[in-house]
Amino acid sequence: MTETVAPVRITEVSAGYWRVTFDNPPLNLVDAALFTGLQEVLARIEASDDLRVVVFESADEDYFLAHFDMSGEATPAVRAAGPSGLPGVPDLVTRLARSPVVSMAKIRGRVRGLGSEFVLACDMCFASRERAVLGQPEVGAGVTPGGGGTEWLPRLVGRGRALEIILGADDFDAERYGYVNRAVPDAELDAFVDNLARRIASFGRKPLALAKSLVNRGSIPPDEELVEGGTAFNTALTWPETRERVGELLGRGLNRPGDVELDLGRHVGPR
């Protein structure tokens, strides 16, 4: 069964295995509609007693999740408190990470900023060796990562590499630094992820959930760190130099199809 929730499509492969497809043309921006759709999908995941594994993928092979919508229109949606009581983004990523359901990101195309932070909160990430591009470009736009990048990346890749990714604000291919579980040749990616998802879905829900909760100990950022990161992002948005820099990037093509979005790491670099 396939069902559309806002710009997010759910395909129930079986009772224990769902695929969630992002379909928010033209860039899969994390705007208010997509963020609301994600919250609705997560609520459905939490309500299922049979689900074991969910795979997140994109209908656009150039953009998995481009980044947060920097126009400002999505800000109220991502700041509103979620069911956990945390602000929207920390609420989303912590609920995903702590869910008994196993989450997997299958990445083709660009995944930057909040998109990167979403896949970092997934339990596993598998990426197309030829087509995946990842990055945290926020510092180059005058802000700091606000959805968990500064909290997840040091735990995943180590302090020095996290600083290179965040402070360099450049694009990275899928094979750099353990940013993802593994990079798979594009022609093999669908079958690889599907086979692993079906294997996991064949196991009992209780041992899967318990094993995940044990691994989570010490590997998930505390709530207060994620909230602090979001507060820092919101503060940076008020700086005059940041408003000027973001306005310039929007004027040059940020949030719109074209060279800026295709090669954002270069465009936020030295001018």
Q: How far is CA 209 from CA 25, 48, 49, 50, 199, in A?
A: 34, 13, 12, 12, 15
Let me know if 188 is a catalytic residue.
Answer: no
- Cβ atoms 177, 168 nearer than 8 A: no
DSSP per-residue string spanning 17-68: EEEEEE--TTTT-B-HHHHHHHHHHHHHHHH-SS--EEEEEES-SSEEE--B
Catalytic residue, chosen from 138, 151, 188, 225, is: 138
CA dihedral of 28, 1, 122, 108, whole degrees rounded to 10: -40
Let me know if 164 is a catalytic residue.
Answer: no
- Cβ atoms 10, 19 nearer than 8 A: yes
Q: Report the SS3 class of residue 265.
A: helix
Catalytic residue, chosen from 12, 57, 73, 117, is: 117
CA dist 254 and 160 (Å) reads: 29
Q: How many Cα atoms are found within 13 Å in the side-chain-facing hemisphere of 7?
A: 20
Catalytically active residues are: 117, 138
